[in-house]
Structure 1
Amino acid sequence: MAMSTSQSALSVEEQAALVESSKKAAAFQAVKDYLESTFQHVGIGSGSTVVYVVEAIAELGADITSKMSFYPTGEQSRQLILAAGLRLAYIQDLPPDASLDVAFDGADEVDEDLNLIKGGGACLTQEKIVATSAKKFVCVADFRKISPRLGTSWKKGIPIEVLPMAADRVLAELKAMGSLNPRVRSGLPGKAGPIVTDNGMLIIDAPFSPLLLSKDTESGIEGGDGEDGIWTVDALAQRLINIVGVAEIGLFHGKNGLQVERGAQKPVAAYFGLQDGGVRLMKAGGE
C-alpha cells in the first residue's frame, strides 16, 4: 500500500501513532455498528486492536454495560475485561441452547472472502468456540492483515492444535499434503521447549502455498484439491480437521452469521485501521 508524500515525511514514531489511531477508530466503529444496548452476551477475543474494542465498550458507561456479560477467548481478553470493570463470564457456562449476541476478535490474515487465519497467539480453539457461539462475529484488525489470498502475507503457517502424542504423525501427514516445512511451535526465546496451549496441546505451524478462493476454481484455474500442494481454503480446512490427532485448526471458513443463525466461523464484517489513519470496512457479500 503506497504512502503519500505527506505520509512519507512522517517519522517512524508518527507513522506508528497514526496506525494506532486508525486501529482505535476501527474498533470504535465496529462497536458502534454491532453492539446493541439490548445485548446480554458478548464475546471478546485477543490482539492489539481488541484492546480498543474493550475501551470502546467501557466508554458506553455502566448504564449499558452492567446488563452485559463478556466472554474471553484467553487470558489477555480476560484481563482486558476485568481491567475495564466489565462483568466476566466463561463460554462453558453459557447454556448450550443460548448464543452470544456478538463476538469481536482480531485475525492474523484476512482474504477478500473474509476467510481468516487465526491462532498466532495459540488460542485458536477458544477463539473458534467463542466465534461460533455468536450470532454475529465481527473482526477488527489493521491493514497489514488484509490479503488477496491466505498465506500471501502470513508466512508463519496455519496454526494447528494437536495432541502431543500425535505431533510427529501429523507433521508427516502435513508434509505429504504439500505443507512447506511444518513445525511444532517453539516457546523460545522466553520458554524452553514447545508452546503448550491452555488445553495441554501443541501448536504446529503449517505453511502452504497461497490458498485459492472458490471463485478461482470456478473461473477455470486448475487445482485446489491438494495436487502439487495447491488448495482452496475450504478443501484444505476439511482435510486438516480430519487428520487424526488434530484438535482444531486456525482456518476460519465456510458460512458467516448472515447465512446461518449460529456456528459461523467467518465474520459478517471486518474493520481495518489503515496506514493513513482511515478505516476500511469489508462486509460479507461485498465491500
Structure 2
Amino acid sequence: MTTIRVLGSAAGGGFPQWNCNCHNCDGVRRGTLRATPRTQSSIALFDDGAEAILVNASPDILRQLRDTPSLQPARAPRDTAIAGVVLMDAQIDHVTGLLMLREHRRALPVYATGTVLDDLGAAFPLTRILSHYCGLEAHALPLDDTPFSVPPLQGVALTAVPLESKAPPYSPNRHAPRRGDNIGLRIVDRHSGRRAFYAPGLGRVDDHVFTELRIADVVLVDGTFWRDDEMQQAGFSGKTAADMGHLALSGPGGMIEILDRLPASRKILIHINNTNPILAEDSPERGELTRHGIELAYDGMEIAL
C-alpha cells in the first residue's frame, strides 16, 4: 500500500513566516490565534518497504526528517530511507533542501523535467555546487504521459503532468513559460489501482488537469491564497495570486468551485500561504472549507491509497 506523508504544508517562508507580522503570523506567535505552525511544502511517498520518495526538498528538510523517524531507518552508521527526490518545479522553497542532503554517500537521484534541470544547472546552479559534495544523478522526466518509477519502490507508479503556472523569479523563463516549468504528479498504487494527484502550484485548471483531478481518488492541491488580491489587500505585494502562478480558493472559477465538481473521496489543500485566513481554525473561511468537505493539510498528515 502506498502512503503519502505530508512533511510540510505551508507555502514559501512557512507559517509563521520569519519576518511577517500579518494577523496570522502575529497571532500564532502570541498564542492568540487558534492555528498550527507549518513548515514549507513537501511530501514523502512510502510503499511496503523501508525506502521512500521525497517529493520536493524544502529549506525545512532537516526538521522534517527529524519529525519523520521512518526516513531514518538507521541500518548503517550513515543511512537514509530517501531513494530519490522528485521535483515539481525549480522554486527555491522546493529545491533548496537538496543542499542539506549534501552528505549523501552517493550521487542523489533527482527526477525533474528538462526545463527544471536547466534552471538548476545554470540560473540556480545546484548541480554544480553539489558536484563538490555527493553530486546529483539527474533523471529527466518524460512529459508524454509515460509513467516512471523510483527504484526500489516499484509499487508506486508516477507520471509527470505539465501544469500552467510560473517558473521561479530567478529563472530567465519567468515571463516566457516553457512546458515543464511546473508539473503535477499522478501517484498510482500499482497493487490497488488507487490514485492521487499532487499539485502544490497550480495557476489554471485546463481540461487535461481537470481530467486528472476528476479521476483521482485523492487530490492534494494548491491552497496558497484565499483571494486573488490577498497580498495586495494585506499591503505586502502589488501582485495577484494569478501573477504568482496560483489559483485562488474563493470566487468564480476558484479552487473551491472546482473541487466541488470532483468525486474524489478526499480533497486536501496544501502549500498554504501565511496570509491565508483558512489557517485560523475558527475562521469563517475555514468553516466554509468544512462545509464543502475540503481538508487542510498539516505537517505529519498521512494519506493511505
TM-score, structure 2 as length reference: 0.35
Q: RCO higher in 1 or 2 (8 Å CA, sep ≥ 6)?
A: 1
TM-score, normalization: structure 1?
0.36
More strand by share: 2
